[in-house]
Amino acid sequence: MEKKYTRVLLKLSGESLMGAQHYGIDPVRIGQYAEQIKAAVDAGTQIAIVIGGGNIFRGVQGAAKGFDRVKGDQMGMLATVINSLALSSALESIGCPSKVFTALNMYPIGDYYSSRRAIEALEDGCVAIIAGGTGNPFFTTDTGAALRAVEIGADAMFKGTRVDGVYTADPEKDPAATKFDTISYADVLARGLKVMDLTATALCKENGMRIVVFDMDTVGNLQRVLAGEPIGTIVY
């Protein structure tokens, strides 16, 4: 594999971990993710990962059901920790070293996050899995991922989804939707496209952090996009 990216931040949704299930963590899906991540690390790419928690709990949905928003978001942060531990376990089981970092001090569940510690782990050949979002309520894991990508000096932020890129409309609802190969941050914001939330998109824009949106559920796609193959959409 020709290496185009040396260090990336991979953002995964919690919902993607459900696989064929309707809740929780599908061992087949998380195993596939682990295999792809290990192959990329073995090829020499440093990978940090941020996972959402929507397969277990989402703070916004909890608030809509009567939970206090701050408490709901804290519950969502804990859900991301559960997912991060599961992915770490899957990676370790196939011989890929990993470290879980948490935005809030939760030792010994994970090491307290700092960019220095995460970079040291990456340079030692470990996958750095960064859990707990930003550690603050009212911020999404997209924003947490954008922040961590900037902090660790990633070449790009990879957003692994179940859709193969950014479209003019939701391709699952509009069959006439067309895919962008590349699109600017300004166009994303002007068109109101739901690549990430506004805060995360603005943070990437201000810091020149390229976003690569691709279908992570197709086995082998992570390696292909790392090699620079024209799959997915590049937001610049």
Is residue 15 in some structural domain?
A: yes
Q: What percentage of the chain reaches a pLDDT higher than 90?
A: 88
Q: Are 195 and 165 in contact (CB under 8 A)?
A: no
Is residue 137 in some structural domain?
A: yes
Is residue 2 in some structural domain?
A: no
Is residue 1 in some structural domain?
A: no
Is residue 83 in some structural domain?
A: yes
- pLDDT for 52-70, tens place per residue? 999 999 777 777 778 899 9
Task: Count structural domains, the chain.
Answer: 1
- What is the spatial distance between Cα 100 and Cα 111, in angstroms, rounded to a whole number? 6
Instruction: 55-64: list long-range contacts, CB under 8 Å, 24+ apart.
Output: 55/14, 55/15, 55/16, 55/17, 55/18, 55/23, 55/24, 55/25, 55/79, 55/83, 56/14, 56/23, 56/24, 56/82, 56/83, 59/137
Stretch 75-85: mean pLDDT: 97
- What is the spatial distance between Cα 19 and Cα 216, in angstroms, rounded to a whole number? 12
Is residue 49 in some structural domain?
A: yes
CATH at residue 220:
3.40.1160.10
Is residue 74 in some structural domain?
A: yes
Structure confidence at residue 14 (pLDDT) = 94
Structure confidence at residue 194 (pLDDT) = 85
Is residue 46 in some structural domain?
A: yes
Structure confidence at residue 1 (pLDDT) = 44
* Domain with 56 in it: 7-235
Whether the predicted model's global pTM rises above the 0.85 cut: yes
